Structure formats: C-alpha cells, structure tokens
Amino acid sequence: MSSSQSNTRTRSSSSVILSDEPSPGVGITDSISSEVDVWTSSHRSFGVLELKNESEKMNDSLQDGILAEFSITPRQQDSLQCCHFQGCFQKLVFSIFACIIGSSFQYGYHIGVLNLPEKVLLEFYNDTLHSREKQYLSGNLKPFLWGLTVSIYCIGGMIGGYIASYFIKNFGRKTTLLWNNLPTIFALTLMCFSKLAHSFEMIIIGRFIIGISAGISTSVAPMYLNEIAPVHLRGFISTINQSAILLGIIMAQIVGLHSVWGKEEIWPLIFGLSVFPLIIQMLTLPWCPESPAYLINHDEDEAEAALVWLRGTHDVGYELEELRTTKEEARNKPQVTYIDLFRISYLRKPLIICVMMMLSQQLSGINAVVFYSTRIFQSVNLSAKVAQIASILTMVLNLMINFVSAFLVDRLGRKILHLAGLSGMFFASIFIVVASVFREKYSWMSYLTVACVCFYIIFFAIGPGSIPWFIGAELFLTGAREYAMSLAVVANWLANFAVGICFPFMDVYLNSYSFLIFTGLLLLFIVYTFLKVPETKGRKIEDIVADFQSENIQERVLI
C-alpha cells in the first residue's frame, strides 16, 4: 500500500480534515465536496462499499456530520448536495437534446407537415398533371395520390424499423443516429426541388425515404435515451422523447399556416426547414458519448468513461458493475435472433407486451386526430382559419400535458399512467361520437366535439403518448433489446399506416360513428394492460427480465 493511499484511508476512516485557511475563491462547500469524493472513492477502492445503498447511507451520514460541525447554512447545504447533480444534469440535457433534435423532432415534424398545406399541395398535384397530360386529377385519383403521399411515410417507417436492429447492433446507437441523417438530407432535397422540377412524384419518393430514416430513428432514439439515463430518471428522460415529437408536429403546423409558408409560391420551404435540426445534431451529437450499454460489450474503459461523462462524477462503480453483470449473463446465453423472440417463452411474453403497447398508442385513434384534425374541426362548422389554429392549439395542449406526465412517470409508475390515459380516451371517444351525432340538432354540440378532442389528446399525453416508446427497452437485456424494439417499431408504423389509410373511409361510411371502432380497441387495450403489463418503475432491467424467466420456469413445473 502506498503512503498516499494510507494517508487517504486514515483521513477518511476517522474524520474529514478541512483546510484551516481555504484559498480565496474556494467556498467551504467545495472543500467539503472534495473531501466527500475522496472518502467515497478511497473506501470503494478497499472494497468497503459493495452495495449502492450502503454507499449512499455512509455518504449521507458523513455529510450530515460535517454540516452539523461547521454550521453550514441551508443554502450552502443545497449547493453541496447538488454539486454533482448539476454537472450530471447539464451533460444529460446536452446528450438528450443532441439525440432528439435530429430524430424524434424530425419524426414529429414530418407527421404534421402535410396537415395544413393539404389544399395547396393538391393544387400543385393537379397543375402538374395538367401541364403534362392536359387533364386534371379525377375524383378517384385525387384522394388516392394524397392518401399515398401521407401513408408512404409509414411504409418507409416499417422498413426502417425492421432494418434498424442491424445498424444498432453493429455500429452502435450514436453512430446510427449520425449516419441516419444522410438519407434524410437526400429526401429533403427531393421534396424541396419538386416544385422546380414540376414533379409531385419527388414528394412521394422523398416521403418514402424520410420514412425509412424515421423508422430507424424511432428505434434508436428511445433506446439511447433509456440507456444513458440513471434508473431514477429513466422514465422522465424517456418521456422527453415524446415531447420532441410533439414539438416537431407543432412546428410543422405553424410553418404550414397559409399566413406563414403554406402558400403556393413558397411551400417548398416547409420541407427545407427541417434540414436545420439535422445540422444541429451533426454538430452536437459527436461530442456526446456512445451508450454505455453498447460500449460495455466492446471496451469497458470506454463504457466507464461514458458513465463518468454522463454522471459528472467518477463514482460510477456500481453502475459499471451492473453493466458487467448484464454482459456476463448475455455471454452465457446463445445469441438472440428474431426467431428466438417468438420461440422462447420468456422473450415472447415481453415482446407481445411491447407490441401491444405500441398498438395501444396508434390504434387509440390519436393519429386520426393528428392527420385529419383540421378536417375534423371544419366538419363541426368551424372556419378553415379557426380550424387550423385549433389544430395547433390541441398539439400545444398535448405538449403541456406530456411535460406534466414526465414528472409523474417515475413517481406513479408506467402502468397506472398508461391505464389512466387509455381510460380517459375511452370515455372521450364515446362523447366525441355523441357530440357528432347530435351536432346538427344542437349547435352547441360543435363546441363539445372540440372539447372532447382536447380531452382525448390530454389523456393520450398522460400515458399512451410516451410510455410505449421506452417501456420495451425496460423489458429486455442488451442483445434481445435491439431486435425487440425493431419489431415493436414496425408494429407501431404498421398501425400508423392502417389508421392513415382506413380513417378517411371510416369517416365516409361511418361518419359520426367512426370513433366507435377506436372505443372498442381502447377497451381491449385497457383490459390487456391491467392483466399483463408489469410495472417497471425504479426497477433494474435485470430484475424485470428475471421475473419473466421465473414465470417460464413455474409454467414448466406446472406442466
């Protein structure tokens, strides 16, 4: 044992010695914080602190003694307790921002980008066809082309979601996000220059390519956020992913207003604007670390360095040991494939849960509101301008409630918030139908319809909006996680596509009763969530996976 180590151990095992005359500019809380760090690291190096809870208790006890001895004020105490948190928080915020600005935000932007300028774009389609063939869009061709333009984004998303696992597993989360910007830039170029080229086909092809990119990013971004987050902030940070999607939708709807860029002369700028989030991501994300869960399988030193950067402290031994344990468990098992997810019981059960959660998000009817919100509001006798503003305000409301749920998800839990959201949407859908049926008889029912749509969105934001995106990553260890999330994202995009294609026909043939289909589906998802979905709040992923394995063993014993 070196003399320096001996001195450190002697100092930490008795009492913390503070400098009698601290240097100018160095507060007493900084000195105390430094000594606490030395105490923690020296004891961990001698194997005294083997459990995280013991470490926290001993640290708290030492700090309490110091605070009492030196009469630290409450303000200084807050500074001491937050010294590491502030560094950790700042770097986490930077990593979160760098991740979502070019992925989740971009995904949301291109969900909402066609909503308000629909009329202008259809006129462009019509004029283009007339300039070529001296005829206008027929009655059937017009809705077909527009439906294809909207829904082909989802077809690309399904393809992107399926191939995402290959890139995630072989190149990592961060690298996949960065390279995924290239097809997006190509797609934006096509759409921006479609007017100059007199080709609406360029918009459709661009939507398909950017859909592939969005499918990849919606697989990678929630996984990256989940893996860089501390356990106690995992739900909060993952919920920010949905906030970024909503911000993208809101931004797309604002620039799509006729008074902004939704005009015949400058509508290509609506597509071009989304290149700036990509530039921001390419400038910021390289400064962020790769996911520690990915690095642990390639370079433990890099994984430790990533944790130190993200946490703002060198005290990451406990988390690093958890990653090592996960790595060893995965190494002792055969490599997981797509087939294994369906064949092995303890993988199949969480996969079904993951897929059902994604379906509960999309088949709840929320995208019928997003895709056709302006049309819904106009159908209740609101003017076109008021309907556009109402569409934007509903998304702002969605964003506000999503922020509230971000603070609740790690307090109340995922399951209870998801159930609350589905239940609220269930009753809101019933009232939407009732208000739509009687709006011609009672004029005030038009306003009730708008209110019900708002409540529909509020309850969606409480749980179904964000939770399905990250709960899947909490049900699988690394190795199976990449494949499971890819399949879940494919299911999400498939349901998204189905709603986008089917709802216009539902609206034509069922009219006021179209939302009853969503009512029935919501009831199904409520029952399934109550009976099958586990609570993952504050639990280690290893423990959650172990529960599925133990259930599988019990079933075999019973058989």
Q: Cα(173)–Cα(486) distance, rounded to whole angstroms? A: 13
Q: Are residues 397 and 263 located together in one domain of the fold? A: no
Name which of 34-38, 149-153, 380-384 the model is least confident about: 34-38
Q: Is residue 56 domain-resident? A: no
pLDDT band at 23 (very low <50, low <70, confident <90, very high): very low
**DSSP per residue over 299-341, as a string?**
-HHHHHHHHHHHHTSS--HHHHHHHHHHHHHHHTSPPP-HHHH
- Give the percent of the chain with pLDDT over 90: 34
| Statement: residue 79 has pLDDT above 90 | no
Each residue of 457-475: pLDDT tens digit? 889 999 898 899 888 888 9
| Domain co-membership, 185 together with 121 | yes
Condensed to tens digits (0 to 9), the pLDDT of residues 493-552 reads 999 888 877 877 787 788 778 889 999 999 999 999 999 999 988 888 888 888 888 876
Instruction: Kindly tell me the burial class for residue 160, based on how many C-beta atoms sit within 10 Å of its own C-beta (0-12, 13-18, 19 or more).
Output: buried
- My answer on whether 258 and 368 are in the same domain is no
Q: What angle do CA 277, 278, 279 make, to 5 degrees?
A: 90
Rounded Cα distance between 395 and 380, Å, is 19
Q: How far is CA 476 from the centre of its chain?
A: 17
Checking if the pLDDT of 72 tops 50, the result is: no
Domain assignment of residue 1, yes or no: no
Span 213-268, pLDDT tens digits: 999 999 999 999 989 988 888 888 888 888 999 999 899 989 888 778 888 888 99
d(CA 382, CA 398): 21
Q: Is residue 394 part of a domain?
A: yes
The whole domain housing 523 covers 338-558
Residue 16 lies in a domain: no
Residues ≥6 apart with Cβ < 8 Å to 164: 176, 215, 216, 219, 220, 482, 485, 486, 489
The H-or-E segment that residue 343 falls in is helix 338-343
- DSSP of 511-539, one letter per residue? GGGTHHHHHHHHHHHHHHHHHHPPP-TT-
What is the structure's pLDDT at 281?
A: 96
- Average pLDDT of the residues of the chain: 79
Last residue in a domain, options 254, 288, 322: 288
CATH of the domain at 277: 1.20.1250.20
Residues 455-469: b if buried by 16+ CB within 10 A, e if exposed? bbbbbbbbbbbbbbb
Q: pLDDT tens for residues 126-147?
A: 888 888 887 787 777 877 888 8
Q: Are residues 240 and 382 in the same domain?
A: no
Side chain identity, residue 169: K
Residues 358 and 266 in one domain: no
344 pLDDT more than 60: yes
State the pLDDT confidence band at 9, using cuts at 50, 70 and 90.
Answer: very low
Name the residue among 461, 504, 293 with its Cα closest to residue 366: 461
Q: Would you state the structure tokens that stand for residue 455, as one six-digit string?
A: 């409540």
Asked if residues 290 and 298 have their Cβ atoms less than 8 Å apart, the reply is no
DSSP state, 344? S
Looking at the fold, whether 252 and 401 belong to one and the same domain comes out as: no
Per-residue pLDDT at 369: 72
What does the DSSP assignment read for 450-491?
HHHHHHHHHHHHHTTTTHHHHHGGGSS-TTTHHHHHHHHHHH
Question: Are 369 and 448 in a shared domain?
Answer: yes
Structure confidence at residue 87 (pLDDT): 54
Tell me if 139 sits within 8 A of 192, measured CB to CB.
Answer: no
Give mean pLDDT, residues 74-81: 38
Residue type, 80: L
Residue with tokens 């399951």: 415
Residues 121 and 231 in one domain: yes
**The Cα angle at residue 103 between residues 100 and 104, in degrees rounded to 5:** 65
Instruction: Evaluate whether residue 308 is within a structural domain.
Output: no
Residue 320 lies in a domain: no
Q: Tell me, what's the pLDDT at 337?
A: 84
- Residue 38's pLDDT is 36
- CA dist., res. 424 & res. 461, Å (int): 11
Please indicate, yes or no, whether residues 451 and 549 belong to a single structural domain of this protein: yes
User: For the residues 416-434, what does the mean pLDDT come to?
Assistant: 92
Domain membership of residue 15 (yes or no) is: no
Least-confidence region, from 304-318, 356-370, 439-453: 439-453
Amino acid 292 reads P
pLDDT exceeds cutoff 70 at 372: no
Pair 92, 203 in one domain: yes
Q: Could you give the CA distance from residue 105 to residue 273 in angstroms, rounded to a whole number? A: 12
Same domain, 279 and 421: no
Residue with tokens 């992107």: 160
Query: What whole-number distance in Å separates Cα of residue 547 and Cα of residue 77?
Result: 40
Q: Using CA atoms, how far apart are residues 74 and 331, in angstroms rounded to an integer?
A: 48
Identify whether 53 is part of a domain.
Answer: no
Query: Cα separations (Å) of 412 from 38, 112, 245, 397, 537?
Result: 36, 31, 23, 21, 8
pLDDT of res. 346: 86
Q: Are 162 and 498 in contact (CB under 8 A)?
A: no
Band (pLDDT 50/70/90 cuts) for residue 376 is low
Whether residues 283 and 392 fall in one domain = no
What's the number of domains the chain is made of? 2
Q: Which helix (H) or strand (E) holds 94?
A: helix 74-100
Specify burial of residue 550 (Cβ count, 10 A radius: 0-12, 13-18, 19+). Answer: exposed
The pLDDT tens digits for 298-319 are 888 999 999 999 988 888 888 8
Q: How confident is the model at residue 478 (pLDDT cuts 50, 70, 90)?
A: confident
Q: Which amino acid is at 222?
A: P
- Block residue for tokens 């303890």: 346
